[in-house]
Structure 1
Amino acid sequence: MTLPPLAKISLALCIGALGGVSFYLIGLPLPWMLGALFASMAAAILGAPVLPPNRIRPATVAVIGVMLGARFTPDFIAMAGAWGTSLGLLALYMLCVSAVTVPYYRFAAKTDWQTAYLAGMPAGLTEMVELGEEKGADVRAIILAHTLRIVITVALIAIWFRLIEGRNVGAMPNFGTAPLTLPDALLLLASAVIGAWAGRKLHFPAPAFMGPLALSALLHATEITASAPPVPVVIAAQIILGTVLGCRFIGVRPMVLARAAWLSLWATIATLLIALGFAVLIHAVIGVTTDQVILALAPGGLTEMGLIALAINADVAFVALHHVVRILIVILLAKPLFTLLPKG
């Protein structure tokens, strides 16, 4: 019997929720997102009749954007000026990463230069896929490379902070500094709705996420509110986000996935080692902790790295700002640099 689309989406969310609960009960790091991700990914690879809840993803990332924006305290404005040096080093870091990962995908994965460039760039999946479709690159290889990079990065960093550094990455942090009153709830809802609308109108990268984050950050930095979305809503958002990521592996054959995962593992490890080197340098120059710099430079998604930063009580504003600048650099330079690639 063939299930209707809504039933497949519901099944995917149920599997994701079970994965999140299982990871939480076992005490694994970042349980709600990683548990949902790995459970739905296993279901997708095994051929279960699942579909990603793509239509509710914008609302999900809006919730997470509002939540992360709640960490932009008035101190952020005073500290932001000192981060100019690290933002300058971010550009150099991206150049170093690209110089390693692009040739790696070209020769280790035996792809053409165009596909290797779009798979190896420390950039967002959406931007690289759109450029790949426009230029005739291998879009499936690009999707696998970036999706696996995010999965591996999130898993490695969460496990590192939990097992090596002993951080309680599995706990739900204190998102806000004030109780959630009705006026505060309305302000946060407005941040999500109006922020997402404004993000699209202003052509923000990842508008459903960046718009709510920016508006929430403004409200919190100016002390109009100090509240954050309730924990159950945030847990549900993480489960949905993890399920969407896991369902990206629908239709991927196990052997193809295994090869792509092996390639992505070493590319991600190389990138994280470069990030560690720059983290030590930036710590020495401006005094920001290496943990925060690694999260700011790590080749994971902005949303995912923001959640880990929140879980370990790192400076979410620092992490988010560097990922936003990274995305902007890619948007501005990816296409012009693409024209300089060798053919084939």
Structure 2
Amino acid sequence: MTIDTPHPMVRACWTHAEVMDAQSDYPRMLLALTIGLVSGIGAYAVGLPLPWMLGPMIGNTCAAMLRMPVRAPAGLRPFVIPVIGVMLGSGVTAEVFDLLGSWVLTLVLLPVFLACAAGLSFLVYRRIGKYDAVSAYYAAMPGGLNEMMLLGAEAGGDERRIALAHAARILIVITFVALFFGLVLGVSSNGTGASNWVALNAIGISDYIILGGCVALGAWGGKRLRLPAAPVFGPLLLSGATHILGWVTVAPPTIFIIAAQISIGTIIGTRFVGATLAEIRRDLLLATLSSLAMLCVAVGFAEFIALQSGIPLSQAFLAYSPGGLAEMSLLALALDQDVTYVSIMHVIRITLVIAAAPLVFAVLLQNSGK
């Protein structure tokens, strides 16, 4: 597995040639971010749903397929993800506690949904993609990309296939969900998550200090407490607490939301760097079939939840859409949906998959007689 940002002790042992090679990545990262920014502006200009994420994703995926010298700015992720957590936490209010009762059905049906969605996805990768059983299983699990890749590799699966499958799944799901909201549900968004622009000077110095503390302490504390999706969930909890207590009452500046979406979109698009065109075509095709199967199941479950609990179909659909936590939470924010509800459901989904996937795989392997 490629390590984008080595430990300082490792960097200290690099030769001069290795240092020069690492420094040569910076122009490629800058090119990727430039493509992301230009693509985002273009997507916004033509009215594409969720332009600041979809634009960079599509632009950098095309750049990777054309063999342009781009590289994922992975070093931004440890900074961007906690900031996203703080932004998501700003949507938490005291009224959330009054809504907890209406979330019970969503939580109860979540494991059933995961079994149905993962089962269909497994059939796609096993029967159509002809993956080996281990690779097909971990490629089908709607959990975190890194976690599924590591678990699959430990079980003897093809690490690269699993990684590309999850990267393609996230790309397809975000694209489809954004289009579904805009074209089917009629929910429009300029991708900022707010009807009015929030300027940098709209919040005070004390607000910046408190929110900055949520970024740093939330990321550190979440990791120490071993929270699921700690880099985003830790800051989300702290930010939510400060907003409930009234220490901070303002929305984050819009430019931060746009910058986060451009960064995440660029990172997703550049995940295909180094893959052959045949691999990209195959994985995008399989991911499209797999994602559409899971999303069809998600629509059915969301419709049932909406009818039974009164939760809007749009929110239930976002809660069950099998994308990444940060990405789906950003979608909820940008589409002015209930960020807390969507984020918590995805945290629980990822936790369930990571905890249950190895156990279920062991049971299936035992029953198969291998």
- The residue aligned with 1:223 is 246
The unaligned stretches of length 5 or more in structure 2 are: 1-20
Aligned partner of residue 145 in structure 1, secondary structure: helix
In the TM superposition, what is the alpha-carbon distance from 1:81 to its structure 2 partner? 3.2
Alignment equivalent of 1:36, drawn from 40, 56, 59: 56
Q: Given residue 10 of structure 1, which amino acid in structure 2 is its aligned partner?
A: L
- The residue aligned with 2:33 is 13
Would you say 1:277 and 2:300 are equivalent positions? yes
* Post-superposition CA distance 1:139-189 (Å, at most 9, x none): 111111111111111111111211233322224233999941111111111
Q: Given residue 53 of structure 1, which amino acid in structure 2 is its aligned partner?
A: P
In the TM superposition, what is the alpha-carbon distance from 1:15 to its structure 2 partner? 1.2
Q: Is the 8 A contact 2:91 2:240 kept in 1?
A: yes
In the TM superposition, what is the alpha-carbon distance from 1:99 to its structure 2 partner? 2.1
Would you say 1:118 and 2:138 are equivalent positions? yes
Aligned partner of residue 143 in structure 2, secondary structure: coil
- Root-mean-square deviation (CA), in Å? 2.1
Distance 2:76 2:161 in 1: 26
* Post-superposition CA distance 1:112-164 (Å, at most 9, x none): 11111101112111110110221220111111111111111111111121123
- The residue aligned with 1:63 is 83
Q: Is the 8 A contact 2:42 2:55 kept in 1?
A: yes
Identity between Structure 1 and Structure 2 (%): 38
* Post-superposition CA distance 1:186-228 (Å, at most 9, x none): 1111111110111111112222211111111111223221223
**After the TM superposition, which residues 96-115 of structure 1 pair with which residues of structure 2 at under 5 Å, given as runs?**
96-115=116-135
Would you say 1:208 and 2:231 are equivalent positions? yes
Aligned partner of residue 95 in structure 2, secondary structure: helix
- The residue aligned with 1:293 is 316
Alignment equivalent of 2:107, drawn from 78, 87, 100: 87
Q: Is the 8 A contact 1:169 1:308 kept in 2?
A: no
Distance 2:130 2:98 in 1: 48
Would you say 1:256 and 2:279 are equivalent positions? yes
CA gap of 1:116–1:188, structure 2 versus 1, over 3 A, is same
- The residue aligned with 1:239 is 262
Q: Is the 8 A contact 2:40 2:52 kept in 1?
A: yes
Q: Given residue 54 of structure 1, which amino acid in structure 2 is its aligned partner?
A: A
- The residue aligned with 1:329 is 352
Q: Is the 8 A contact 2:74 2:267 kept in 1?
A: yes
**After the TM superposition, which residues 121-270 of structure 1 pair with which residues of structure 2 at under 5 Å, given as runs?**
121-174=141-194, 179-270=202-293
TM-score, normalising length from structure 1?
Answer: 0.95
Deviates more, 1:108-117 or 1:225-234: 225-234
CA gap of 1:171–1:50, structure 2 versus 1, over 3 A, is closer
In the TM superposition, what is the alpha-carbon distance from 1:330 to its structure 2 partner? 1.2
Runs of 4+ in structure 1 deviating by more than 4 angstroms, as ranges, are: 175-179
Q: Is the 8 A contact 2:124 2:289 kept in 1?
A: no
TM-score, normalising length from structure 2?
Answer: 0.88
Q: Given residue 163 of structure 1, which amino acid in structure 2 is its aligned partner?
A: L
CA gap of 1:242–1:171, structure 2 versus 1, over 3 A, is closer
Aligned partner of residue 129 in structure 2, secondary structure: coil
